[in-house]
Chain A
Amino acid sequence: DAGVTQSPTHLIKTRGQQVTLRCSPISGHKSVSWYQQVLGQGPQFIFQYYEKEERGRGNFPDRFSARQFPNYSSELNVNALLLGDSALYLCASSQGGIFGELFFGEGSRLTVL
């Protein structure tokens, strides 16, 4: 079975631009979460979506938004990019909406210049 897939794998943007990252969960998984990982740190929770509804949000500004589609895939949008947004953005899927092991994709490496 295919694991969690993310696209694009790498991208470079300039300050002020907008970016959209995409994620396809493992087949049968209905929950998708997004995490930001800065170099040398652990992943930080951004959002969780379950059954197309936002179930949780971390301490990130309103420039960050996400949505989940009927096929359970998800998009993360970041507007007005700042240099500090440079990071590895990880998508994770799980079967349940409240609790369960997270299975991560390879991530999207965003560089903001």
Chain B
Amino acid sequence: EDQVTQSPEALRLQEGESSSLNCSYTVSGLRGLFWYRQDPGKGPEFLFTLYSAGEEKEKERLKATLTKKESFLHITAPKPEDSATYLCAVQAGGYQKVTFGTGTKLQVIP
């Protein structure tokens, strides 16, 4: 069964203090790894798709990387508006079941 583990569960940063979120996964036949951002009471917002080890994607202050066992979401010089829960998810198999981790709740303090 596909498994996704995210750490830490919660992270509190000062504005401008860079850090990384970790996502480790166990899956047979990875088709893609996704990162989503979720604000309280809202649906997840798509950020990135990574397909193979060594791949990197960037968007503003966020950079996602992928190895054969883990993915990292690097946040450079975060701002308070980056505060949210960040979800990692994987897709494998022949249909569109996506398995999510429990997320990392990020709080950026001004």
B99 within 8 A of A: yes
Complex Cα distance A56/B95, Å?
A: 6
When distances are taken between beta carbons in the complex, the residues of chain B under 8 Å from A42 are: 4, 87, 89, 100-103
Complex Cα distance A90/B42, Å?
A: 9
Complex Cα distance A41/B94, Å?
A: 25
User: Known contacts A42-B101, A42-B102, A42-B103; is A31 also within 8 Å of B96 by CB?
Assistant: yes
Closest B residue by C-beta to A6: B43
A-B contact count (CB 8 A): 69
Tell me whether A48 and B94 are in contact (CB under 8 A): no
Contact of B31 among A33, A99, A105 (CB under 8 A): A99
Closest B residue by C-beta to A99: B31
What size tier do the contact residues of chain B reach?
20 to 34
Closest B residue by C-beta to A49: B96
Tell me whether A98 and B96 are in contact (CB under 8 A): yes
Interface secondary structure of B, over-half rule: strand
When distances are taken between beta carbons in the complex, the residues of chain B under 8 Å from A68 are: none
User: Known contacts A42-B87, A42-B101, A58-B97; is A101 also within 8 Å of B43 by CB?
Assistant: no
What size tier do the contact residues of chain A reach?
20 to 34
For window 63-110 of chain B, which residues contact chain A by CB distance below 8 Å?
87, 89, 91, 94-103
Closest B residue by C-beta to A31: B96
Tell me whether B87 and A45 are in contact (CB under 8 A): no
When distances are taken between beta carbons in the complex, the residues of chain A under 8 Å from B94 are: 98
Q: Which residues of A contact B (CB under 8 A)?
A: 4, 31, 33, 40-45, 48, 50, 55-56, 58, 88, 90, 92, 94, 96-107, 109
